[in-house]
Amino acid sequence: MSFLKHSIRDNVQQLLNNIPPGITVVAAAKGQPVEALQEAIDAGITVVGENYVQEAEKHKAVIGDRAQWHCIGSLQKNKIKKAIELFDGIQTIDTLQLAEAINKRCLPLPKVMPVFIEVNSGREPQKSGVYPERVETVVRAVAALSSVSIGGLMTMGPLLLRPEDIRPCFRETKAVFEHIRRLNIPGVRMEGLSMGMSDSYRIAIEEGATMVRIGAGIFGKRKG
């Protein structure tokens, strides 16, 4: 697989120079060789987002703790044990049952796993995530778990031809984020709002994202 791209270093530096202060760029590492991740980290990336536990394990074995590691893909229950060893955060908690399974694995370590609740902002039945109107209920239930710590929300949003059309989904997720923050639920820190990818991160930032997940914008578009 080859990539059409400018220098990864140039892409990262351009991103970091053009986004507002306080926005974290997560390098979406799906399908990337470890050398590409090393170049991105050398250029200033501090958080790597991994879709697959197996890829994260291979990448982290080489790179180690030079960056934080976040799970940004669906997490299967049979991968939880390895995931809590590898990741500094899991952004894709979409059910209480998944949170409970993570909590159960963390209890004997002991470890408290930082997580985000994934919001299905497009209300797409084929996708994972909690519908916006149910987020408070799920947050309250997950917050009762002693070895899981909620730090924010994440949304993917629907894949649309015009990135601008996703704006209402980001705006609603931000409104849910602010609602949860005002509730001051014990053990819940509404600090991170992970929204936007390479084609939509500018809109996501305008709508309140504190974290954007960038793949092609850093590594170039995949070919083949």
Read off the pLDDT of each residue in 2-17 and give the average, rounded to a whole number. Answer: 81
Residue type (1 letter), 214? I
For residue 138, the one-letter residue type is V
Neighbours of 94 (CB within 10 A): 19
The arithmetic mean of pLDDT across residues 17-33, rounded, is 96
- CB of 157 closer than 8 Å to CB of 127: no
Q: Which residue blocks in 107-166 are alpha helix, DSSP H?
A: 135-143
Task: Please say whether the beta carbons of 155 and 173 come within 8 A.
Answer: yes
The pLDDT score that the predictor gives to residue 3 is 39
How does residue 223 score in pLDDT terms, banded at 50, 70 and 90?
A: low
- Alpha carbon distance 8, 11 (integer Å): 5
pLDDT at position 163 = 87
Percentage of residues in the chain having pLDDT higher than 90:
92
Q: What is the structure's pLDDT at 48?
A: 98
pLDDT digits (tens, 9 = 90+) for 141-193: 999 999 999 999 999 988 887 889 999 999 999 999 999 999 999 999 999 99
d(CA 89, CA 72): 9
**What confidence tens digit (pLDDT) does each residue in 97-143 have?**
999 999 999 999 999 999 999 999 999 999 999 999 999 999 999 99
Determine the Cα–Cα distance for residues 129 and 92; give it in Å rounded to an integer.
8
Structural domains for the chain: 2-223 (3.20.20.10)
CB neighbour list of residue 54: distance below 8 Å, 6 or more residues apart: none
